[in-house]
């Protein structure tokens, strides 16, 4: 298996996913409204014109209430489409009916924007990027799912000289003391959980 940050991350991912997989749809639903409420109070989101977000699936902390609230505020909401090489293209969120269920290989079904594709660079126009994750630590280091899609997004932002606020959405138990990090990992600026917000800048 090897040692080092990579195998430590794999083990941690399994642990966090195990806990998430034990959540019922009711558990997830209960936290969705609270998560949206906390996120909408974020100063970074108060002034955002464009937000790159994502549609939660399965037992991920629910994002749909937040997407609708942002849209109601007149925010341009970008959602990802997974490309065959695990990179992300982007499309606009125009309400529930603008989403299509897409199955990627043997993996879970994702809800993706059905409209026009804006290209991978579209994310560089965002004032805030909401990131999925499994945990974040006291320094703001995020543990992702390991697919590498968001590592590419963060690289793309850096190359473009874009500096959006990076915010990860998690459950309360997923804010931990420390997660293993690799050289390419970048800290996020804030975490939103159903019970509150924490900034790392």
Q: Which residues does the annotation place in the binding site?
A: 9-13, 55, 60, 142-150
Residues in the annotated binding site for substrate: 55, 60
* Token representation of residue 160: 């473009």
* Token representation of residue 103: 């199955």
CA dist., res. 75 & res. 129, Å (int): 13
CA dist., res. 72 & res. 93, Å (int): 11
For the packed helices 64-72 and 25-40, what is the interaxial angle rounded to 10 degrees? Answer: 30
CA dist., res. 131 & res. 147, Å (int): 13
Residues in the annotated binding site for ATP: 9-13, 142-150
What backbone phi and psi angles, to 5 degrees, belong to 9? -65, -45
């Amino acid at each position: 298996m090897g040692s080092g940050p990579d195998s430590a991350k794999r083990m941690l991912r399994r642990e966090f996913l195990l806990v998430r997989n034990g959540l019922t749809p009711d558990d997830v639903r209960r936290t969705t409204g609270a998560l949206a409420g906390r996120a909408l109070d974020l100063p970074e989101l108060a002034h955002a014109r464009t937000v790159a977000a994502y549609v939660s699936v399965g037992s991920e902390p629910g994002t749909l209430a937040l997407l609708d609230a942002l849209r109601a505020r007149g925010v341009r909401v970008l959602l990802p489409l997974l490309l065959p090489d695990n990179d992300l293209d982007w499309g606009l969120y125009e309400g529930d009916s603008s989403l299509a269920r897409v199955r990627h290989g043997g993996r879970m079904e994702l809800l993706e924007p059905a409209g026009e594709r804006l290209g991978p660079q579209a994310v560089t126009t965002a004032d805030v990027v909401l990131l999925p994750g499994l945990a974040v630590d006291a320094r703001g280091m995020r543990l992702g799912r390991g697919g590498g899609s968001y590592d590419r997004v963060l690289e793309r932002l850096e190359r473009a000289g874009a500096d959006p606020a990076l915010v990860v959405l998690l459950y309360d138990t997923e804010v931990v003391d420390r997660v293993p990090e690799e050289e390419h990992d970048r800290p996020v600026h804030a975490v939103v959980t159903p019970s509150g917000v924490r900034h790392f800048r």
